[in-house]
Structure 1
Amino acid sequence: MSINSVLVNPNMSLLSTMRQQLEDMQRQLSTGQKAATYGTLGTGRTQSITFRSKISEITGYLQNTDVLNMRISLLDKSMGRLEDIPSEAAAAIDPNTYNIDSTGTTTGQKGAKIALNEVIGLLNSEADGRYLMSGKTTDTKPVVSMNDMLYGTGNKYGLQKVVQERYTADLGTGKLGRLDLGTADGAVTGDTVTITRQGATTTPPSVSAEFGYKLSGASTSTLDATHIQLTPTTGTDSAGNSVTTSYGVQFGANLQAGDSVSFELENPDGTKSTVKLTATLTSPPGDGEFTIAQDTSTTPPTVDIAATAANFQNRLEDSLKTETKTTFQAASMMRASDTFFDTAGGGKPQRVDVADPTDDSLLATATGLRDGTDTDTVEWYVGYNAAIDASDSATSPRNDVTARVDSNITVGYGVRANESAYAQMVRSLAVMTIAEFDPKAGTTGDTNATTDAERQKNLQVEKARYSALASRVDGVLAFADGSQKPTDIHTEIAVSGNVAKSAADRQTNSKTTLQVMLDGVEGINKEELTAQILTLQTRMEASYTTSMILNNLSLLNYMK
């Protein structure tokens, strides 16, 4: 064996090892990582895998939060506007201001229509192709168009027709709010006027629990039965409730001017109206009065009881006719709109339960409501609408859409456009929009009047109905009855956003800490590594020089 073989081969092996070490150090310097694989990381491999897994998990949570924050930000803008609209619309719908144009549209209705259109647009808000207020069905636009909602489409009834059929049902056969007036004999022939709920005298009785007036109470200004005496009759309505079905008003010989009778009537929407008539000797009587008829054949004149009862009945009928065209009609419209829009939790729009809704005679004697079907009634909300159980938070609309923002925290931010606060807003604006008023009332073009007095009365009826409806709409928009408000939903969504933000702040801090720890396991100290590289390069240069000398060494040179 040659000398150089004995000396050079081990040195070359050492050089090869150092070259590999230098290459690995240079890789570390360029990548900032100690090892290229977990296998070469040594004892730190377990910590590296653990830290990386946790960082990856946190990154996923932060990505969820970013998407959630974007959607909540858009919801926040829409909900903020939905909070402002009710007060703005209420200001435009002034019950005391009746301004109507030639088309029969009032200023308040114009404002309501503009507001309704904006509300529908906001309830249909979307982000990245997802509808934000459609519950779980994020691919479905939750609210139908305003035109379909109000006026229907094809064979489907919209709000306008539902309101019309409801009013016909509420009026009843005599168009007095399902009340019948008549006379009966007491001590004197024809001395008693009866006010009776329709259906009370049929066999079997069929007093509707849903339609028309309810007789809430009655009173007289005197307890002397020789002046006026009230006699109530009770029965059962279609819902099985014990109710007052009629009152008998009996007039006596001592009736005098100033004596009065008051009826408290419950309107279809649950509000109360009072019809009061006061006796007077004046003929013709003024508003809210009836004339005491006198028998002048006696000295002094005495009360003609039967004629007085007839006067009372005529004036009561006039008062009820006026009420049914004003307050009662407004109440009927509000009740119809309530049953049309109250669909939260899987409900259907309600219709008068008759075989043929175009037959007024059937509507006038109907006793209850039915669910509208997919083929005959427009459903204004078509998003996710599963049942809601107040005792089970899992059924809350907030949990329709959720996002995991931490290992133990899931945030719900689902919204349904038919939640009570939004449904009431849409309902009130919609019913105001579809109301109809006569622009010719009070003018010479009024075809329902022949005298100035009649024209003025018709105008007052229109104004009174507008005022009654506008007052009710304003009441709904004020959300003063303790019902859910738009701010309630907004607050819940804002809380979800704050929970997600707090979780993201914690996750970001945790990620920073874990990254530092991971860098400590996988990372390098550049200054230290650079010094090691320089040292290794120096050693390699010395080894290369030695190897070169040994490679040129021979026995002859060695002996020299």
Structure 2
Amino acid sequence: MIVNKSMFPLQTGFSVISKMQDKFANLQMQLGTGLKAQTLSGMGRDLPVSLSVRSRLGTIAGYNASIEQVALRLSFLDNALTRMDKIEGEARNSAVQGQYGTNNINMATISAQSLARFDEMVTMLNADVAGRYLFGGSVTDKAPLPTTQTLLEGAGGRAGYKTVVTERNAADLGQSGLGRLTSTVASATPADPASVTLAEDGDHPFGFKLSTVSAIGANIGIAPNLAAAPASIGFTFPAPPDAVAEGDSVTLGFTLPDGTETQITLKAVTAENATGSVFEFVIGEDAIETSTAFDAALRGALDQVADGELKAASTYAAAQNFFNAAGEPVLRVQGSDPYNATALRVATATDTVMWYGGETAAVSATGMGRLTAARSDETVTLTQNIPVSAAHGFHIAGAVSSKPAAIAASATPGDPARADFTIADNAALVLGDSVTLTLTEPDGRTREVTLTAVTGKAGPGQFTIGADAEATAANFDKALQRAVTEAAAEAEGNPRQSVNAAIEDSGRVNYGMQANESGYLRLMRSLAAMSVETYPEIVNAADPDSPDLDPARRRFDAMARRQHLELSEAHNVERGSIELVTMELGVAHAALNAAGERHTNYKAQLDNLLSDVETVSKEDVAMEILALQTRLTASYQVTAMISQLSLVNFL
């Protein structure tokens, strides 16, 4: 009988012990770290799940970082908008019509206060968060506005707002200071009727524009020619015995450069009842004396209103020209003699400071993308606004009709270009006939506006066939204006979408800001206008109820009234107002919070899943170590005994 080690597989025993030692070491590592493995290869079948979960957690971490960054920017924007809203309220309360303050302190301080608020606005609009400018749309690497000094005073040979105001004031008031109006007196003899003619001095956008006229009393003849360009009004004063009676009056209405209206009333009085007011004219011995007195009163009243209402309107018009809105160019008075100017021109970046340098829309829904529609009988005409700017607004490229015999459509190139639509044969129009207008944006993109004839109520893109050609043209005019405005709104887009951030797989938050939106723009224009305006010395301080207010008070009242109109809370519902922008940011902030909460909940679920896949229970590992340690000790002993086995030991 042979007894030796070949009967016992020692090599196999050593291999088993080695594996148990490896497992023992792995269990000790798990006990110390709580992880199943130190390397990816050690994860085994759990590796795909681990990699997928970790990838998802990384994505969530990226979204959370984006949310945190956007939340910081929204917090800054919220603080800025809150302050702007307060500035708006402060500005409204700082200048109130008729409230001049003790010793006229309000007039003395309003310019400096407005300048300080204007500078604060510029500072906020130029503020950056971690090197990123927030009020320039997608242009985030540079400040959207020049400095306050540059905006007002100009720089490098380029005109600032003060220069534009000076030019505009001169163009609106004219050399005589009568708002670009002229008056002449004519009469053959004292026994004949006399006349006074008031006329605009040319066809241009400056000064007073005659809009209405009326009279009380039957002895003053009025011959208005308000539809002409330039407009005029003739006044006839009869010779005795049909003289003007005391109490007769004439009221004239004017359109001012900023689009507002004003009027003056001239009242006839006898010499003994005259108060010396510029709004009175003394009835003379004959028609010549009466007409001469009327002309003098007319000139005096125009001079007074020009110094107050017209000057204020001109300053605000200059603010509209310089602080241009989206889709509008910067405008200046054309020519070297502003007192006799007849047109505005498009300013360039080489001669004028451009107030806003951030991202902006080239076409604005306001004003139909710089197009104007007008109707005359059966014809509707669409024209580009003057001055024409190649970089702003829609340009008319073409117009065609599906049935030219019924609706004649044509586009005429020029400066400005125009499109004409004439209802040529109303009876020939039937359901489905259409007209297509082609518009070109400054970047070369084209948009087609198609209007289709219907017999009932018209919907979007439709116009109703009327009872006659004129009625159809009126319906077409309304439909065209609506359709072009909608096309302009699409071209303008939404400033909020100029900047956005991904906050989850299927969600982005829009929070872009552009400093030329209507809310900021109104503040900038109003504060700039109030900061550069000056007020003459008070000469009638002892009589605040005088019908002829001092020049300083007239101008202060006119400026205060315009600031109230510009900053009225009635504008809060307009697109781009500070209040609506604040609400839109609130929606963005709510979206951030909701996404952040979803990420928190999802991350907790993924963390639990990852823990199940990658970690171990230390209690279970400790028990497994004890069991393995017992088996390993026994294996050591058995292997040692077998390794010493021999015949002698066996016997």
TM-score (norm 2): 0.74
Matched-pair contact (CA < 8 Å) for 1:104–1:436: no
For the residue of structure 2 that corresponds to 1:219, the secondary structure is strand
- Correspondence list, 1:83-482, <5 A: 83-98=85-100, 106-185=108-187, 189=192, 191-199=194-202, 207-208=203-204, 210-222=205-217, 224=218, 227-237=219-229, 245-252=231-238, 253-282=242-271, 285-287=275-277, 288-294=279-285, 304-345=286-327, 347-354=328-335, 356=336, 362-387=337-362, 391-392=489-490, 395-439=493-537, 441-442=538-539, 460-481=550-571
Matched-pair contact (CA < 8 Å) for 2:34–2:615: yes
Q: Please, what is the CA RMSD of the aligned residues?
A: 2.8
Alignment: residue pair count: 516
For the residue of structure 2 that corresponds to 1:136, the secondary structure is coil
Per mean C-alpha deviation after superposition, the further-off stretch among 428-437 and 18-27 is 18-27
For the residue of structure 1 that corresponds to 2:345, the secondary structure is strand
Give how far 1:413 is off.
Answer: 0.8
Per mean C-alpha deviation after superposition, the further-off stretch among 114-123 and 497-506 is 114-123
For the residue of structure 2 that corresponds to 1:422, the secondary structure is helix
**Letter aligned with residue 229 of structure 1:** G
Query: Distance between the aligned counterparts of 2:151 and 2:87, measured in 1?
Result: 19
2:475 corresponds to which residue?
none
Matched-pair contact (CA < 8 Å) for 2:211–2:226: no
Give how far 1:49 is off.
Answer: 2.8
Matched-pair contact (CA < 8 Å) for 2:185–2:196: yes
**Letter aligned with residue 27 of structure 1:** M
Task: String of CA shifts for 1:95-151, please: whole Å, max 9, x gaps.
Answer: 334369999972222221221121111112211111111211111111211111111
Give how far 1:526 is off.
Answer: 2.3
For the residue of structure 2 that corresponds to 1:344, the secondary structure is coil
| More strand as a share of residues | 2
Give how far 1:393 is off.
Answer: 8.6
Structure with bigger RCO (C-alpha 8 Å, 6+ apart):
1
Query: Distance between the aligned counterparts of 1:49 and 1:338, measured in 2?
Result: 60
Task: String of CA shifts for 1:279-307, please: whole Å, max 9, x gaps.
Answer: 1112555322111112xxxxxxxxx1121
Matched-pair contact (CA < 8 Å) for 2:226–2:233: no
1:301 corresponds to which residue?
none
Matched-pair contact (CA < 8 Å) for 1:62–1:504: yes
2:67 corresponds to which residue?
65
Query: Distance between the aligned counterparts of 1:176 and 1:186, measured in 2?
Result: 27
**Letter aligned with residue 49 of structure 1:** L
Give how far 1:4 is off.
Answer: 4.2
Task: String of CA shifts for 1:421-480, please: whole Å, max 9, x gaps.
Answer: 1111011111111112234x5399xxxxxxx99xx9998111211121122113222242
- Could you tell me which of 27, 31, 34 is aligned with 1:32? 34
Give how far 1:94 is off.
Answer: 3.4
Matched-pair contact (CA < 8 Å) for 2:111–2:534: no
For the residue of structure 2 that corresponds to 1:480, the secondary structure is helix
TM-score (norm 1): 0.86
Give how far 1:21 is off.
Answer: 1.2
1:203 corresponds to which residue?
none
Gap change, CA 1:261 and 1:334, over 3 Å in 2: same
1:241 corresponds to which residue?
none
Per mean C-alpha deviation after superposition, the further-off stretch among 78-87 and 41-50 is 41-50
**Letter aligned with residue 23 of structure 2:** Q
Give how far 1:519 is off.
Answer: 2.1
Query: Distance between the aligned counterparts of 2:592 and 2:44, measured in 1?
Result: 38
Gap change, CA 1:276 and 1:385, over 3 Å in 2: same
1:48 corresponds to which residue?
50
Query: Distance between the aligned counterparts of 2:492 and 2:283, measured in 1?
Result: 67
Gap change, CA 1:103 and 1:162, over 3 Å in 2: farther
Give how far 1:40 is off.
Answer: 4.2
Query: Distance between the aligned counterparts of 2:500 and 2:491, measured in 1?
Result: 13
Task: String of CA shifts for 1:44-91, please: whole Å, max 9, x gaps.
Answer: 333333322222222211111111111111111111111111112222
Query: Distance between the aligned counterparts of 2:3 and 2:63, measured in 1?
Result: 69
Query: Distance between the aligned counterparts of 2:207 and 2:82, measured in 1?
Result: 39
Gap change, CA 1:394 and 1:336, over 3 Å in 2: closer
Q: Does 1:530 align with 2:533?
A: no
Gap change, CA 1:545 and 1:250, over 3 Å in 2: same
For the residue of structure 2 that corresponds to 1:497, the secondary structure is helix
Gap change, CA 1:367 and 1:30, over 3 Å in 2: farther
**Letter aligned with residue 505 of structure 1:** E
Matched-pair contact (CA < 8 Å) for 1:213–1:267: yes
**Letter aligned with residue 536 of structure 2:** D
Matched-pair contact (CA < 8 Å) for 2:330–2:354: yes
Give how far 1:261 is off.
Answer: 0.7
Q: State the identity %.
A: 32
For the residue of structure 1 that corresponds to 2:199, the secondary structure is strand
